[in-house]
Structure 1
Amino acid sequence: MSQNPLSPRSRRVIVTPVFDPLVQPVLPVQPLRPLRSDSIQLDFIQSAFLRPFPWQVEPLFRLSFEADPLQNQDAIPAAVFFPLVQRPSGLHVLFTRRASHLYDHAGQICFPGGRIEATDSDEIAAALRETREEIGVSPEFIQLIGKQPDYLTSSRFIMKPVVGLIRPGFQLAPDVSEVAEVFEVPLSVLMDPGMHRLHRAQLPDGGERLYFSITWKSYFIWGATAALIRNFYRFLSAAQDQ
């Protein structure tokens, strides 16, 4: 999400979250089976995107994954790159931790990505551009695999996830004005539904918000990013049943 440090947007006051996601109560959820080890291998994931099969998005967030664009025309289109990295121990997923001074989602853990600009031909072009700008990985090192369902966030972004593999030989060059840290989490951890925690937060207006979280080492992944991870689990779980 490139931004000029002198632009009006960069001078806006940072919005303070209305609740602390780390301390909200955890709700019971129906246990789900872990994926087979072969279902989190690159060849299986690639084949899953190539063949149509019936599957359902995460039911707790169905309204966010199936939001009607006509009823949400104020939402901002954004592309995110769901980056897989092949390591000797298996596939990993690359994340960034956003700089604490940013206006949108400061300090949060997320995928590379940002708003789809007028110069972007589509969400794939936007995801590739944002990945280059944020972490310095050029498109020549990225092998596209497929797309996941759009997701309407509570902050009124329509996230369009693009899944791909970052090929060996890439070098990271994070934009320190946007990215505080780049790190990887094993896909086996993220695709273990036992790692997914469901929280309920009470909002100042009397409403409530449900969200998933995944904790790994010192990293707390939550909100829209965790929802996309949970939905990817749903996708692969359905694929292994075919």
Structure 2
Amino acid sequence: MVLSPFRHPADTLSFANEVLWHYRRDPVTGRQVHQRRVPAPTYTLRCFVLARAVRQFHAHARFDSAAPALDEGEYRRRVREVIRSNPRTRRPADARVLFPGFACLRDFSQRWERLLKAEAGGAWRSYLQRGHWRMIFPFSRTGQAKEAERLVRAVHTGEAVVAHVFTFPALTLNHALVLATATETPARVTFEAYDPNQPNTTVALTFDRDRRQFTLPPVDYFIGGPINVYEVYAGFLR
């Protein structure tokens, strides 16, 4: 089945997974340090929740801005149907859940943010994502090179590819991105991704072919540097 390409921002959510902490690099040690944000944010620890929801809407929903809008109760029922769908499968176009009155997920989420936050799921879904077991085992450079190739192929199918990006055992990063594009050169692969923490801009996930290493630039929740990556929602064990 050929999918419409995953697009940023149209196929993403308008609201953010808020960050609990302020992160910065210690000028003496060079290590990442943090302090709690005040006032405390109210919608947190849901990066995997939002990444999964974006993937589900891309694979199981469709939008029609010309069709008459529905009431809140009917939209809620349809959101629940999408969120209960298997993120590892996709529906044919004529079987997808229709959201009339809106052109895309971004538009729908701007109007119905409260509803989507209530129905997408709690923070526990981020902690209990099925594929988390993988990050505790070693990642070889050869393995990461193969993963980069798999991610490129998956992005080119048009899927909303969810990548688990992390450091381990020091969890200075434990996050989910949704890859939108993949640009290849002889030296590197650059993936432009939807970031649930900063939905209004993309983040560049880079793979260096010589070093066989993924890196993420400095962002609000990570000081930047080498990381490991693997795709989730891509099979029974992930």
TM-score band, normalised by shorter chain: under 0.3
Structure showing the higher strand proportion among its residues: 1
Give the TM-score normalised by structure 1: 0.24
Give the TM-score normalised by structure 2: 0.24
